[in-house]
Amino acid sequence: MQNIENIIFDYGNVIFMIDFARAHKAFTDLGIKDVAKIFAHTEQNALFDDFDMGKITAAQFRDGIRDITGKSHLTDEQINDAWNSLLIGVPPGRHELLLQVKSRYNTFLLSNNNEIHYRYIMDYLKKEHALEDNKGFFIKDYYSHLLGMRKPNADIFDYVLQTHQLIPERTLFIDDSPQHLVTAERLGIQTALLTAPDTLEELLKRKNLI
């Protein structure tokens, strides 16, 4: 890739590894049927979208889970544990790679996130990596639930571009969700899809960015 000045990173399965199958199993183990119909990588119930955009609180999200599943007996802890079960962690060397990239490009984080996952991740970073947050790896880290916007909607991309006066054609967006890349491409942003078994380091090397 040529003329890249800025790189916008997704978080899940780009930097922080996640496994949707684990969450599906955890919710299924709670007795919830047809989990894939309410939550999946490419599509999900509006409850999850609202949670990602901070339109509802964690308590309202948990009540929503009880409502749509008909499982009023589920405790807050059970729901939190099932919801957080998809979160795995940051692979060795990934943080060091981000610092390497930041030394050469303007880097940003753009994550669809929510109150429950965000709290878990921040606690994980403190316990496992002695970090307060992700701020040190980027010029700015953005989380959907704090912005009130989420991918793949264009407004969240426009916000980052305009806030930092980024030229779309000189900006690369890396994500593991094809539907998010479609929006970015429509805005003129260069994109790269990252899916297993590919890794962020391998992708960046192939594109001669490190």
pLDDT tens column, 51-77 = 999 999 999 999 999 998 889 999 999
Residue 176, both tokens: 């593991």
Q: What is the pLDDT of residue 9?
A: 98
Q: What is the pLDDT of residue 43?
A: 60
Domain boundaries, the chain: 6-17+91-206, 20-84
Q: Which long-range contacts (CB under 8 A, 24 or more apart) does 151-156 make?
A: 151/10, 151/110, 151/112, 151/175, 151/177, 151/180, 151/183, 152/177, 152/179, 152/180, 152/182, 152/183, 153/183, 154/183, 154/186, 154/187, 156/110
Burial 47-75 (b: 16+ CB within 10 A, else e): bbbbbbbbebebeebbbbbeeebebeebe
Residue 201, both tokens: 């380091």
Ranges of residues in the chain with a pLDDT under 70 are: 1, 40-44
- Helix H or strand E segment including 6: strand 6-9
CATH of domain 6-17+91-206: 3.40.50.1000
Helices (H), 53-90: 58-69, 76-84
Q: What is the pLDDT of residue 36?
A: 74
Q: What is the pLDDT of residue 138?
A: 98
CATH of domain 20-84: 1.10.150.240
For the whole model, what pTM was predicted?
0.94
Local structure of 9: helix, strand or coil: strand
Eight-state DSSP code of residue 204: H
CA-CA distance, 58 to 31, in Å (whole number)? 21
